[in-house]
Amino acid sequence: MSWFLRLLLAVTLLPVSVWAGPLVEMKTSVGDLRIELDAEQAPQTVANFLAYVDAGFYDNTIFHRVIEGFMIQGGGYSRNLKRKQTAAPIANEADNGLKNIRGSLAMARSEAIDSATSQFFINLADNDFLNHRGKTARTYGYAVFGRVVTGMDVVAEIGRVKTVAKNRLFKDYPEQQVVIEEIRRIEAPL
């Protein structure tokens, strides 16, 4: 057998993806997706997110902010638009080298650098301007801590829902509510 055929055979037998971190499955009213978390690059952020997952915090929350071609945001409000009580804010790990690219999962925050609690967003496009670029509140960026590995079609569908301005707080609110039914840890495929 030639070296080329051996190489081709070896490459085809390699696993398609190497799971570097914990996996979660997010069930939504639109469909399901799987997310790989990067506990190596964003250890505090992943631990924070998984604490909310394990507590069932995200069950029956909503995507309350959807901006087509930009991102979908959820993890902070119940179906009746009540803000959920969260744990204390965490340190911002936006300087971890991970980028806000299409399909990445990042923490939402206020203007304060270390203000992220439970809310997250999934990037619908490469959003370089959200990456860490400096030490000020404006340039610190948004901490990426995972990526969608299956279900980007669901994410894209959510990103295309019609939105309305519900009030001053909800300016890009889905006209038809998009519910996060649950998020659970799952085992990586063998």
CATH number where 51 lies: 2.40.100.10
Share of the chain above pLDDT 70, in %: 88
Contacts of residue 110, Cβ cutoff 8 Å, sequence gap at least 6: none
The answer, yes or no, to whether residue 96 has pLDDT greater than 70, is: yes
Count CB atoms within 10 A of the CB of residue 51: 12
**Within a domain: residue 4?**
no
**Within a domain: residue 13?**
no
Percent helix, percent strand, percent coil in the chain, to nearest 5? 20, 30, 50
**Cα separation, 140 vs 142, whole angstroms:** 7
pLDDT at position 132 is: 98
Q: Identify whether the C-beta of residue 33 lies closer than 8 Å to the C-beta of residue 141.
A: no
Question: Once rounded to an integer, what is the mean pLDDT over residues 96-124?
Answer: 98
**Cα separation, 156 vs 145, whole angstroms:** 19
Question: pLDDT by residue (tens digit) across 137-169?
Answer: 999 999 999 999 999 999 999 999 999 998 888
**Within a domain: residue 78?**
yes
pLDDT at position 14 is: 41
- At 102, list the tokens: 């299409």
**Cα separation, 186 vs 97, whole angstroms:** 26
Question: pLDDT by residue (tens digit) across 8-37?
Answer: 444 444 444 454 699 999 999 999 999 999
Question: Once rounded to an integer, what is the mean pLDDT over residues 95-119?
Answer: 98
**Does pTM top 0.85 for this prediction?**
yes
**Cα separation, 51 vs 172, whole angstroms:** 28
Question: How many domains in the chain?
Answer: 1
Mean pLDDT for the chain overall: 91
Identify the domain containing residue 121 by its residue range. Answer: 19-186
**Within a domain: residue 179?**
yes
Question: pLDDT by residue (tens digit) across 62-71?
Answer: 999 999 999 9
Beta-bridge mates of residue 105: 122, 146
**Within a domain: residue 60?**
yes
**Cα separation, 94 vs 39, whole angstroms:** 13
Angle at CA 144, nearest 5°, toward 139 and 150?
145
Tell me which residue of 58, 24, 27 sits closest to 38, measured CA to CA: 24
**Cα separation, 190 vs 188, whole angstroms:** 6
pLDDT at position 168 is: 82
